Amino acid sequence: MGVISRYATRFDLLITGIITALIVGLMVPVSPGTLRFLSGGADAGVALVFLLYGMRLSTREVLRGLTNIRLQGFILVATFVIFPLLSWGLSQLVTPLVGPDFALGILFLGLLPSTVQSSVTFVSIARGDIASAIAAATVSNIAGMFITPALVMAFMDISGASTGGFTSVLTKLLLPFIIGQCLQPWCGDWIRARRHLTKRSDTAAIILVVLSATLSATADGAWTVVTPGSLLVLVTVLVALLIAMLAITWFGAQRLPRAERIVALMCGSKKSLATGLPMAKALFPTNMVGTIGIPVIIFHQLQLMVCAVIARKLSRSHS
């Protein structure tokens, strides 16, 4: 329960920060200079997050998990094939109900990599294979730095999703991660002993991205098309998408050992907010990031609440 309590506290802070940033972004007008400053700060915060993750992640643990090709392959297919196809189909179906921007957000959600920290934490709570979870989440995020921009360019007809956006992802996300991996032999132990650094930096970076994106969307009048009805439909669609992916990853992996099946469930059904919002910022025009990011934010909260309950039940069933 101590692990769950600490995890819940962290995400309470994250949720509170996101909600506050959304309210401020909707209500407080700012100058173009302030917007540019906040956007630059968000870029710097995101780069710092990926630098710290590169320094913190243990290459030895990741390589041990990578030897399970069947499990890793299943998760990659769930993340980058099944999830995108489902999100594409749903986005086409509900466009008249939620509008084109939210529909693009649903599609973009499906193209993202899996989460890292929440997936591993829930696998640990459910008594799954932690090493394989670390490998799966890490591989998904590293692969996602290449696959997600490629899928965006393939699935989404948006001028901002160009080769320049792909290059932006590589320079803002992958390059800091590679630098961190190069520094890991000297700094890894020190960073892992101070996990609060990555927790605080990724929380701050996400809040800054939400704030700058919302302020930009407000300045461009992007919220005038949002209605309570479209939000209700959006939440319903995201709940259905989460249930579908939980069912596919759990029953589709039933031939795997229980510990690996838990990894498939927790890693294959999630999408990363920490990676998704920075990628949206790098790939799309600033005025689109706010509305495209809303489905990612909502899905993130849904997956945390639902998977926390599932992880506790799986833990009790194994005791």
Determine contact, residues 234/295, Cβ cutoff 8 Å: yes
- Tally Cβ neighbours within 10 Å of residue 28: 12
In the block, residue with structure tokens 């909260």 = 301
Kindly indicate the confidence band of residue 1, based on its pLDDT and cuts at 50, 70 and 90.
very low
Cβ atoms 303, 271 nearer than 8 A:
yes
Separation CA 12–CA 290 (nearest Å)? 21
Inter-residue contact 89 to 119 (CB < 8 Å): no
Nearest to 301 by CA among 265, 268, 270, 263: 270
Question: What does the alpha-carbon distance between residue 192 and residue 207 come to, in Å, rounded to a whole number?
Answer: 23
Q: Contact at 8 Å (CB) between 92 and 226?
A: no
CA gap 313, 310 in Å, rounded = 5
What pLDDT shows up at residue 237?
A: 95
Helix (H, G, I), strand (E, B) or coil at 3: helix
Range among 13-17, 179-183, 238-242, 283-287 with highest mean pLDDT value: 238-242
d(CA 287, CA 285): 6
Task: Count structural domains, the chain.
Answer: 1
CB-CB contact of 56 with 192 (8 Å): yes
Q: How does residue 287 score in pLDDT terms, banded at 50, 70 and 90?
A: low
Q: Token pair for residue 131?
A: 């090493």
Which residue bears the tokens 């965006």? 152
Residue 318: the pLDDT is: 64
Supply 89's token pair.
């189909």
* CATH number, domain with residue 217: 1.20.1530.20
Predicted pLDDT at 3: 45
| Residue 168 binned pLDDT confidence (cut-offs 50, 70, 90) | low
Q: Which residue has the higher pLDDT, 295 or 206?
A: 295
Residue 5: is its pLDDT beyond 50?
no
pLDDT at 157: 63
Nearest Cα to 25, choosing from 203, 202, 213? Answer: 213
Which residues contact residue 277 at a Cβ distance below 8 angstroms, ignoring those fewer than 6 apart? 206, 209, 210, 213, 289, 293, 296, 297
How many angstroms separate the CA atoms of 171 and 173, rounded?
A: 6
The Cα 226–Cα 251 span in angstroms is 36
Average pLDDT over residues 205-213: 74
Q: What one-character DSSP code corresponds to residue 82?
A: I
The whole domain housing 60 covers 2-318
Q: For residue range 217-244, list pLDDT tens digits in order.
A: 677 665 666 678 888 999 999 999 999 9
User: What is the model's pLDDT at position 111?
Assistant: 93
This prediction's pTM: 0.70
Model pLDDT, residue 117 = 64
Question: Which of 68-77, 84-93, 113-122 has the least mean pLDDT?
Answer: 113-122
- Rounded Cα distance between 22 and 51, Å, is 26
CA distance 65 to 84: 25
Q: CA 161, CA 146: separation in Å to the nearest integer?
A: 13
Per-residue pLDDT tens digits for 35-88: 888 878 877 887 787 788 778 766 665 566 567 788 889 999 999 999 999 999
Q: Average pLDDT, stretch 140-154? A: 80
Residue 281's nearest CA partner among 106, 38, 20 is: 38
More confident residue, 103 or 50: 103
Higher pLDDT, 43 or 96: 96
| 294 has a pLDDT exceeding 70 | yes
- Sign (positive/negative) of CA torsion 61, 130, 137, 4? negative
What lies within 8 Å, CB to CB, of 204 at 6+ separation is 45
